[in-house]
Amino acid sequence: MYYCDTHGHLDLHQFDADRAAVIERAAAAGVRIIIVPAIDLGSCRRVLALADQHPNVYAAVGVHPNDCADFDDGTVGALRRLAQHPKVVAIGEIGLDYYWRKVPPGRQKQVLTAQLALAAELGLPAILHSRNAAPEDRACTTDLLSEIAQLGPMIRKQRPTGAIIGVWHAFSGDLTEAWRAYDLGLALGLGGPVTFQNARRLRALAPSLRRDRLLLETDAPYLAPHPHRGQRNEPAYVPLIAQALAGLYHMPVEEITVQTSTTALSCFGITREGANLGEVR
């Protein structure tokens, strides 16, 4: 049995002092695959260097919505070249963020469209970010799903039949939005917040989510699970997320772990042989 952290920003400065030790701790905790998404072109190069150095680390290349003000055709070309690296398994982290207001929404949507088109061209899944300005404001979520509805079929054509076309990272929507995401071919990523006792809405929703479209993630260094809340997050904490979900689903943690790991391999096109995982037990 092994875990997959499908979203951890190990290239960020918070890990500069002990990055190798963090990756070793993850392996000791049974986290055999870590996917590191980029947030800009500099980050893309850092995550590819990490993937080169560590067999269990894979990369996603893309530009985050809060960092997309200078995105242009040259950026698309650079991402296309970077995505040729054999350990790039997704385009991401891309999406929409109406919370920080660093880039106008219209510009964010233009950049998201360009990167989804690149994912379709390359046959790669997308790692999607969505953050609304306020809990009652669903404009960002609506816009994100609209973009996927338009460009998702292009990605689907380049992926194996029935394959997941992307993951909605740090899902915080409702059940209607979850099922809309499933219909569009997305998986949902859950992390530390599902372990928070005061995250009542998310914890009540989780058991209604499809287990075959569920992925585990840390979003390290952010959103550390209980009992590490408020501290730096790291991939070794993925088992805490699996344990919380197992409790909410009233099922053995082994079943959650195997299901989410199998879904991760399928979503990101990682073979057990290529990752030296052997058979899932």
The vertex-116 CA angle with 161 and 259, nearest 5°, equals: 45
In a domain, 276, yes or no: no
Helix, strand or coil for residue 85?
coil
Domain total of the chain: 1
- pLDDT the model gives residue 162: 87
In a domain, 104, yes or no: yes
- pLDDT the model gives residue 280: 38
- pLDDT the model gives residue 81: 98
Here the tokens at position 142 are: 């609506």
* Long-range contact pairs involving 199-207 (C-beta distance under 8 Å, separation at least 24): 202/172, 203/248, 205/174, 205/175, 205/178, 206/245, 206/248, 206/249, 207/248, 207/249, 207/250
Residue span of the structural domain in which 100 resides: 3-268
In a domain, 274, yes or no: no
In a domain, 281, yes or no: no
Say which residues have a Cβ less than 8 Å from residue 251's Cβ, sequence separation at least 6: none
Q: Which of 139, 126, 106, 228 is nearest to 169 (CA)?
A: 126
Whole-structure pTM value: 0.96
Q: By the 8 A CB rule, do 68 and 100 touch?
A: no
- pLDDT the model gives residue 271: 86
CATH of the domain at 44: 3.20.20.140
In a domain, 114, yes or no: yes
Please count the other Cβ atoms lying within 10 Å of the Cβ belonging to residue 86: 10
Q: Which residues of the chain have pLDDT under 70?
A: 278-281
In a domain, 273, yes or no: no
